[in-house]
Structure 1
Amino acid sequence: MHVETPASTGRRSGRRAALALVAIATALPLLGTATPSAGAAAPAAAPFDPGDAAKFAKLNKQIEQLEKELGGDLAKLKDAQYAAKKAHLKSRVLEKDLIEARDVVARFAATKYMMNGEDPTVTFLSSANPSELLSNASLVSHLAQNQATKVEQIQKLVNDQVQAKKQAEAKMAEVKKEIQDLRSRKTKIQSLVKRYKPESPSTGMGGVTPRMLKTKNTLDLEFGPFPTIGCVRSTGDPQDHGTGHACDFMVTTGGVMAGGSARTQGDQVAEYAISHAGALGIKYVIWRQRIYDMRSPGWRMMENRGGNTANHYDHVHISVF
Structure 2
Amino acid sequence: METPYSTRDTFVPRRRFRRVALAIAAAAGALVLTSATAQPSVAAEPSGSEKVAKLTQEIKELEKEYGGNLEQLRDTRKQAKEALERAKDLREDLDEAHALVAQLAATQYMTNGVEPSIQILTSSDPGDVLGDASLARHLSQSQAAKVRQIATLVTQQDRARREAEKKITQLEKDIKDIAKERTRVKALLKKYKPESPMIGNGGMTSRMVTARDEIEEEFGPFLVIGCTRPGDPLDHGQGKACDFMESSGGSMPSSSRLAHGDAVSAYAIKHASRLGIKYIIWKQRIYDVRSSGGWKGMSDRGSITQNHFDHVHISVF
Q: TM class by shorter-chain length?
A: 0.7 to 0.9
* 8 Å Cα contact 2:28/2:102 also seen in 1: no
Post-superposition CA distance 1:47-102 (Å, at most 9, x none):
54346211111110000000000121111121211211121111111112112212
Q: 1:58 aligns with which of 54, 57, 63?
A: 54
How high is the TM-score relative to the length of structure 2?
0.78
Q: Secondary structure at the match of 1:199?
A: coil
Alpha-carbon distance between aligned partners in 1 of 2:91 and 2:29, rounded to the nearest angstrom:
23
Q: Secondary structure at the match of 1:36?
A: helix
Alignment of 1:261-272 (within 5 A): 261-272=256-267
- Does residue 43 (structure 1) correspond to residue 32 (structure 2)? The answer is yes
Match of 1:22 in 2: none
- Does residue 282 (structure 1) correspond to residue 277 (structure 2)? The answer is yes
Alpha-carbon distance between aligned partners in 2 of 1:264 and 1:107, rounded to the nearest angstrom:
61
Alignment of 1:129-278 (within 5 A): 147-233=143-229, 239-278=234-273
How high is the TM-score relative to the length of structure 1?
0.77
CA 1:113–1:261: 2 relative to 1, 3 Å: same
* 8 Å Cα contact 1:42/1:105 also seen in 2: no
Aligned residues: 277
Match of 1:121 in 2: 115
* 8 Å Cα contact 1:285/1:317 also seen in 2: yes
Post-superposition CA distance 1:80-136 (Å, at most 9, x none):
112111211111111121122122223213312421xx454169849x9x9xxxxxx
Which stretches of structure 1, 4 residues or more, deviate above 4 A after TM superposition?
38-42, 141-147
Unaligned runs of 5+ in 1: 1-8, 12-33, 131-140
Match of 2:133 in 1: none
Alpha-carbon distance between aligned partners in 1 of 2:178 and 2:184, rounded to the nearest angstrom:
10
Give the aligned CA root-mean-square deviation in angstroms: 3.0
* 8 Å Cα contact 1:41/1:106 also seen in 2: no
- Does residue 296 (structure 1) correspond to residue 296 (structure 2)? The answer is no
**Shift, 1:290, TM fit:** 1.2
Paired AA for residue 224 in structure 2 = T
Alpha-carbon distance between aligned partners in 1 of 2:208 and 2:64, rounded to the nearest angstrom:
19
Paired AA for residue 303 in structure 1 = S
Identity across aligned pairs (percent)?
A: 47
